[in-house]
Chain A
């Protein structure tokens, strides 16, 4: 077995360079085909009837009139009489027809009776009288904790303390392992007390108080304290390409799907289990899922979802014809993903020099019907010696939560970094200094210090910072704000196969997917680097379950995985090639290297053969090597975990209108060894734009009376446009201290800080905290009024 490692800096030809995406041209020219764009022969239009009520019981469903409409090929009731629906827009009936128009007409012909039940859609108001939750955890509670990234030790202790109301089956254990759940949690579950479920009707669940050290004493003896209210609302993913699927049965036993997904290889298992459960037995190996491009997922596209199953059911009923169901914009925003909200009163105690001594938080939030967990607070400054935390989870009818890029971190960053910024203001200190002062409370103090200093240089923070409240005349006030963040990002388990053909062509196959992050390009760069070939000599095939199984693209785990897999496969394949070629060149294989399209003897001039010639010695089949990134229980070699970043925002606020404009943002970010510098920077640019969007515009707005989302379209669900995007400066930390750590993911971390940094900049500009994101004119004016008039 080879010893796998990355080439050091002086031996890199491709890694670390800036390369444009290989699929850029097909994307910008419209030739890239997304699930949405595929229209196979005989395609039927699928459509879904959705529940108009936020909370209701289905009483009856009558599809007879719809079935009689000519052109309707299949009708499938998804939630029949007796089913309780917990959010508006939930799926009731699916059908397939020969075109969209007929499908829509048929939906209107369906009669559903509901018993309308009371709904609750308010999460921003602080719950006053919630009793502490002590009853056993339901399976949903557990899943919710996982998707909210609750630290595993906390999950274990909660499970042990409160018990569980569901059986820990072998199947469940298997599934948890496939999601990399730690063995300690599994043990805790297996030994947890079994209790019967409690049926509480209150939407509020209060967690036990979580205490570290002696917060009472710390606050009593504190030299300074500050307190504030902070919050982040529910937002939606709003994928440019909505969720959706095309499904067809080429024969009675085989199903082919094209799910718009972040998780190509995860689909067959999920679909097989679900279909089997509803009476269509099929094994995962008989399902093939494919996808070449996806128009955004941001964490919301891991599950097969009910519409994928519906498409498979409808196709089966329609004799196997392909059925396409894509969510319309309203459904996309109403049902396909809500990022949980988080609000908190936070109190901090500190010494006069800014050193934080204690944290106290009363938080609440919702992630839909299942409530929502406390974000990981205090964020990054986890070593604050004295802490008291309590969280109220609110169950609401706003639609189901889904992981949103860096689940719970943006919320945690707002609750923490804004509180620290307020403390700095209280102490009359520059927050830059207060952050530096407290870095020993973080896990990677040196890195954060380097990143903050770099950000200072790029923003001219030290030169430009002023105490809270811009004193200059006129209504436009300017301010600076900062935040830091963290993420894991180790590569997941997965694999790819690399073949060197006798004609010299190189082909790589893996079931991974390219979310638009440049996965294809990164793989080609790693292989090109390893084999000494230019990028265009490498063919990368991905997005097909017929290729080696790879993991879902979530949690920033893709780049670490695909780079490690392709490096391994390429190294092994190359070693085989070198062994074949070595006799010709008259040296041992380990004396050879692949560089600039040749195989040559290391350290000697001249002795070499061309790549093509070398490959012709491979025999008829060439060589194929399998590259597998080991599972997370093994120590990592080519990939790693743990990144940091610092961001700064420069904003202007019109204190007469409350309008906020971002003037400039700086992002400084580390992520170990960077494969493609260009797409790494692009991740940060994109994250800053997405961050400006959720800081200033995004909010899932629910109507109290009807329980429906009021802004389920792009005119009301505002996203930052060109005019709202300022100068963006990105700096990647590379070189010694970073590169040798291996490849680490970057999808999540840069999107964590913008909300906190922008909120802090607004406070610095106008002299008062605007408690909740998004920072809209009404909120800015209200905060100013509370403070006592315009700044």
Chain B
């Protein structure tokens, strides 16, 4: 790790004032479960580390039947998963949070840190850059190399990593918004818009400027939708999934009226399925056959293998099918 300045602002205004205009000069420290590993591996090397944990008022969860759920940036994953309102009104979100990482990490990691965690691409983590180009040939190391865990969607390049949070897709399916605070005040945007595919090495995978901080996540109140979430995990725990699907369904009787399907770990962003996927379900009852058809349209049709990750197309397909079936099986 390189030497750095460590500062602990007391307010979000102070924090923003301490952040640089340029990515890389400063980094925000929340639970540190991701950032410290990045610093130890010299993947990021901030000159100043801005610890946000002592900013007052960012660690609360509040539920209101009219406005929904407000999750402070500093709420720990474990506290989110254990929260009585979350368990009652958003049981799928509670379960998703409960399945992330390991108990130790959930006790330390924050919700904003989870949404802002950096990609797990092994080229990135080994210091070859977010877009991992071979300095000699300029070619993508991912495309030329071992891409077994890389993107099958949104993978036209130059980014091939997959978005790492398993909680983000579930929040997006639930219609969550994210609130960001910067020099000119707060802004709010749908969580799905928060994720972007970087085009150059000095861009990031979030719509966050280097002098902004995430302050809150807002989830609308439940409105009779049915939620489902399925994770394909090779290891039972302490690992990221290989593919996930989160679904929110509006049903009319046993027929699908509206469907929102978000796949995780398949693209550089949480992948919100387009209307063609929804179209396979609209007006249909949810059965093994229709759920499977949705999976095909969601993953098999648009999915593109980079060479070693074709199996992930299958995994995404199955995740969509199982998440859909789960949504109608459970409440």
Contact = CB atoms under 8 A, between A and B. Distances in A.
A104 B235 contact: no
Contact of B237 (A101, A711, A722): A722
Interface string B298-327: 000000000011110011001000000000
A471 interface: no
Contacts of A718: 234-235, 239
Given A656-B318, A657-B318, A715-B120, A710 B146 contact: yes
Contacts of A710: 122-123, 126, 145-146
Interface string A712-725: 11011010111110
A184 to B, nearest CB: 45
Nearest to A782: B311
A658 B311 contact: yes
A705 B134 contact: yes
Contact of A704 (B128, B145, B233, B311): B145
Interface in A691-707: 696-697, 701, 703-706
Interface in A293-341: 330
Contacts of A79: none
B3 A713 contact: no
A721 B237 CA distance: 7
A656 B321 CA distance: 11
B7 to A, nearest CB: 19
B311 A703 contact: no
B125 interface: yes
Interface residues of B, number: 34
B235 A701 contact: no
Main secondary structure, interface of B, reads: loop
Given A703-B141, A703-B146, A781 B125 contact: no
B6 interface: no
A706 B141 contact: yes
B315 A657 contact: yes
Contacts of B3: 101, 105
A701 B122 CA distance: 11
A705 B122 contact: no
B144 interface: yes
A477 to B, nearest CB: 15
A710 B125 CA distance: 9
Contacts of A778: 148, 308-311
A708 interface: yes
B120 A659 contact: no
Contact of A659 (B126, B145, B232): B232
B166 to A, nearest CB: 14
Main secondary structure, interface of A, reads: loop
Nearest to A781: B311
A724 to B, nearest CB: 5
- Central interface residue in A701, A706, A718, by most chain B CB within 10 Å: A706
Given A105-B2, A706-B141, A778-B311, A713 B125 contact: yes
Contacts of B65: none
B126 A712 contact: yes
A101 B2 CA distance: 7
A723 B233 CA distance: 11
B148 to A, nearest CB: 6
A80 interface: no
A777 B141 contact: no
B242 interface: yes
Nearest to B310: A778
Contacts of A539: none
Interface in A755-786: 776-778, 781-782
A294 B1 CA distance: 27
B276 interface: no
A703 B239 contact: no
Nearest to A101: B3
A708 B311 contact: no
B237 A723 contact: yes
A681 to B, nearest CB: 24
B214 to A, nearest CB: 23
Nearest to A774: B234
A781 B1 contact: no
Interface in B98-134: 120, 122-123, 125-126, 128, 134
A332 B266 CA distance: 31
A711 B146 CA distance: 11
B46 to A, nearest CB: 15
Contacts of B237: 721-723
Interface string A100-121: 0100110000000000000000
A105 B239 CA distance: 32
Interface string B268-307: 0000000000000000000000000000000000000000
A704 B143 CA distance: 11
A777 B145 contact: no
Contacts of B310: 778
The 3 closest A-B pairs by CB, nearest first: A723-B236, A778-B311, A710-B122
Interface of A: 101, 104-105, 330, 656-659, 661, 696-697, 701, 703-706, 708, 710-713, 715-716, 718, 720-724, 776-778, 781-782
29 contacts: A656-B314, A656-B318, A657-B314, A657-B318, A659-B233, A661-B236, A701-B146, A704-B144, A705-B144, A705-B145, A706-B128, A708-B126, A710-B145, A713-B41, A715-B37, A715-B239, A716-B122, A718-B234, A721-B235, A722-B236, A722-B237, A723-B238, A724-B236, A778-B148, A778-B308, A778-B310, A778-B311, A781-B311, A782-B311
